[in-house]
Chains A and B, each alone.
Chain A
Amino acid sequence: MSYTRALDLTHGRIEMSHGSGGRAMAHLISGLFASAFDNPYLAQGNDGAVLPKPAGRLVMSTDSHVVSPLFFAGGDIGCLSVHGTINDVAMMGAVPLYLSAAFILEEGFLFADLKRIVDSMAKAACEAGVPVVTGDTKVVEQGKGDGVFITTTAVGVVADGVDLSGDRARPGDKILLSGTIGDHGMAVMSQRENLNFDAAIVSDTAALHTLVQAMLASGADLRVLRDPTRGGLATTLNEIAQQSGVGMLLNEALIPVNPTVAAACEFLGLDPLYVANEGKLIAICAPCDADRLLAVMRAHPLGAQAALIGEIIEDAHGFVQMSTCLGGRRMVDWLAGEQLPRIC
Chain B
Amino acid sequence: MKYVDEFRDGELAKNIAAHIARETAPQTVYRLMEFCGGHTHAISRYGLADLLPANVRLIHGPGCPVCVLPVGRVDQAIRLATKLGVILCTYADTMRVPASAKLTLMRAKAAGADVRMIYSTQDALKIARDNPAREVVFLAIGFETTTPPTAVAVKQAQAEGISNFSILCNHVLTPPAMHAILTVAGGVALDGFIGPAHVSTVIGSEPYEVFARDYAKPVVIAGFEPLDVLQAILMLIRQINEGRAAVENEFTRAVTRQGNIKAQALVSEVFELRDFFEWRGLGTLPLSALKLRAEFADFNAESKFNCDYLPVQDHKACECAAILRGEKAPQQCKIFGTVCTPENPVGSCMVSSEGACAAHYSFGRFRETTI
In chain B, positions 306-337 with a C-beta closer than 8 Å to chain A are none
Q: Please tell me if the beta carbons of B353 and A344 are within 8 angstroms of each other in the complex.
A: no
Number of B residues, CB within 8 Å of A: 50
Check A333 for interface membership: any CB of B closer than 8 A. Answer: yes
Cβ contacts under 8 Å, B219 to chain A? none
List 11 A–B pairs whose Cβ atoms lie within 8 Å, in order of A's numbering. Answer: A325-B10, A326-B13, A328-B49, A330-B363, A331-B365, A337-B96, A337-B343, A340-B96, A342-B92, A343-B66, A343-B146
CB distance from A154 to the nearest CB of B (A): 31
B364 at the interface (CB under 8 A from A): yes
Check if B51 sits within 8 Å of A326, measured CB to CB. Answer: yes
Binds A, one of B40-48, B238-246, B253-261, B271-279: B40-48
Q: Report chain B residues within 8 Å CB of A341.
A: 91-92, 119
**Within 8 Å CB of B146, what residues of A?**
343-344
Least Cβ–Cβ distance between B281 and chain A, in angstroms: 18
CB-based closest 10 A-B pairs = A328-B47, A336-B342, A340-B92, A328-B50, A326-B46, A330-B363, A330-B47, A319-B366, A326-B13, A329-B47
Binds B, one of A4-12, A60-68, A259-267: A259-267
Knowing A327-B13, A327-B14, A337-B343 are in contact, say whether A342-B93 is a contact too (CB < 8 A): yes
Are A328 and B361 in contact, CB atoms less than 8 angstroms apart? no
Contact of A324 with B by CB under 8 A: yes
Q: When the two chains form their complex, are residues A266 and B4 in contact, meaning their CB atoms are under 8 A apart?
A: yes
The answer to whether B65 touches A331 (Cβ under 8 A) is no
Distance (whole angstroms) from the CB of B321 to the closest CB of chain A: 21
Q: In the complex, are the beta carbons of B342 and A337 less than 8 A apart?
A: yes
- In the complex, what distance in Å separates the CA atom of A336 from the CA atom of B354? 14
A326 touches B47 (CB 8 A): yes
Contact A336 B13, beta carbon cutoff 8 Å:
no
**Bound form: Cα–Cα A333–B66 in Å:** 22
* Residue A317 at the chain B interface, CB threshold 8 Å: yes
- Are A330 and B1 neighbours in the complex by a CB distance under 8 Å? no
Residues of chain A within 8 A (CB-CB) of B9 are 325
Q: Report the minimal beta-carbon distance from B102 to chain A, rounded to whole angstroms.
A: 16
- Chain B contacts for A200, CB-based, 8 A: none
Q: Tell me which of B44, B119, B143, B343 has the highest count of chain A C-beta atoms within 10 A of its own C-beta.
A: B119
Q: Check: A193 CB closer than 8 A to any chain B CB.
A: yes
A162 at the B interface (CB under 8 A): no
Out of B38, B94, B95, B227, which one reaches A344, CB within 8 Å?
B38
A319–chain B nearest beta-carbon distance, Å = 5
Give residues 190-205 of A contacting B (CB, 8 Å): 193
A100 interface residue (CB < 8 Å to B) = no
Interface size class of A (residues with CB under 8 A): 20 to 34
CB neighbours of B49 from chain A (8 A): 328
Q: How far is the CB of B334 from chain A (nearest CB, A)?
A: 20
| B141, B226, B366 interface centre (most CB from chain A within 10 Å) | B366
Check A253 for interface membership: any CB of B closer than 8 A.
Answer: yes
Q: Decide: B198 and A344 in contact? CB cutoff 8 A.
A: yes
In the complex, which residue of chain B has the Cβ closest to the Cβ of A195? B119
Most buried by B among A262, A321, A344: A344
B117: nearest residue on chain A (CB-CB)?
A340
Please determine whether A327 and B50 come into contact, CB atoms closer than 8 angstroms: yes
A321 touches B366 (CB 8 A): yes
A 262-300 binary contact with B (CB < 8 Å = 1; else 0): 110010010000000000000000000000000000000
Task: Tell me, yes or no, whether B145 is within 8 Å of chain A by CB.
Answer: yes
Residue of A nearest to B92 (CB): A340
* Residues in B138-169 with C-beta less than 8 Å from chain A: 141-143, 145-146
Does the CB pair B8–A326 fall under 8 Å? yes
- In the complex, whether B352 has a CB less than 8 A from a CB of chain A is yes
Q: Are A324 and B142 in contact (CB under 8 A)?
A: no
Is B369 part of the binding interface, using a Cβ–Cβ cutoff of 8 Å? yes
Q: Is there an interface contact between B119 and A266, defined as CB atoms closer than 8 Å?
A: no
Q: Which residue of B lies closest to A328 (CB)?
A: B47
Give the distance to chain A from B346, nearest Cβ to Cβ, in Å: 14
13 more A-B residue pairs beyond the given contacts A327-B51, A342-B354, with a C-beta to C-beta distance below 8 A: A193-B119, A269-B353, A323-B47, A324-B46, A326-B227, A330-B363, A331-B363, A333-B362, A336-B341, A337-B342, A340-B96, A342-B352, A343-B94
* Contact status B1-A262, CB under 8 Å: yes
Chain A residues whose C-beta falls within 8 Å of the C-beta of B66 in the assembled complex: 343
Least Cβ–Cβ distance between B49 and chain A, in angstroms: 7
A344 to B51, CA, bound (A): 26
Binary flags per residue of B346-371, CB closer than 8 Å to A gives 1, else 0: 00000011100010011111100100
B46: which A residues are within 8 A, CB to CB? 324-326, 328, 330
Given the complex of chains A and B, what is the CA–CA distance between A2 and B354 in angstroms?
Answer: 67
Contact with B along A128-139 (1 / 0, CB 8 A): 000000000000
Which B residues touch A326, using CB under 8 A?
8, 10, 13, 46-48, 51, 226-227
| Residues of chain A lying within 8 A (CB to CB) of residue B41 | 342
| Cβ B119 vs Cβ A324 within 8 A | no
CA distance A253 to B353 in the complex (A): 22
Q: Are B343 and A336 in contact (CB under 8 A)?
A: yes
Nearest CB in chain B: distance from A246 CB, A: 14
Tell whether, in the assembled complex, residue B364 and residue A331 are in contact, meaning their CB atoms are under 8 Å apart: yes
Q: Which of A325, A330, A333, A343 contacts B92 (CB 8 A)?
A: A343
A266 CA to B119 CA, complexed, in Å: 14
Instruction: List residues 232-275 of chain A with CB under 8 A from any CB of chain B.
Output: 253, 259, 262-263, 266, 269
Closest CB in chain A relative to B242 CB, distance in Å? 27
- Residues of A near B65 (CB, < 8 A) are 343-344
Report the minimum CB–CB distance from B303 to chain A (whole Å).
Answer: 25
Contacts A330-B363, A341-B119, A343-B146 given; indicate if A324 touches B47 (C-beta within 8 A). yes
Q: Which residues does chain A contribute within 8 Å of B117, judged by CB atoms?
A: 340
Chain B residue, CB-CB nearest to A315: B366
Give the CA-CA distance A344 to B35 in the complex, in Å.
Answer: 14
Q: From residue 21 to 65 of chain B, which have CB atoms closer than 8 A to chain A?
A: 38, 41, 44-51, 65
Smallest CB gap from B17: residue in A: A327
Interface hub of B10, B143, B352 (most chain A Cβ within 10 A) = B10
Q: Give the distance in Å from the alpha carbon of A259 to the alpha carbon of B1 in the complex.
A: 7
- Cβ-defined partner of A343 (8 Å) among B4, B142, B226, B366: B142
* Residues of A close to B341: CB separation below 8 A: 336
Indicate whether A328 sits within 8 Å of B51 (C-beta atoms), given known contacts A253-B10, A259-B1, A340-B92.
yes
* Bound-complex Cα distance A186 to B75 (A): 33
- In the complex, chain A residues whose CB is within 8 Å of the CB of B47: 323-324, 326-330
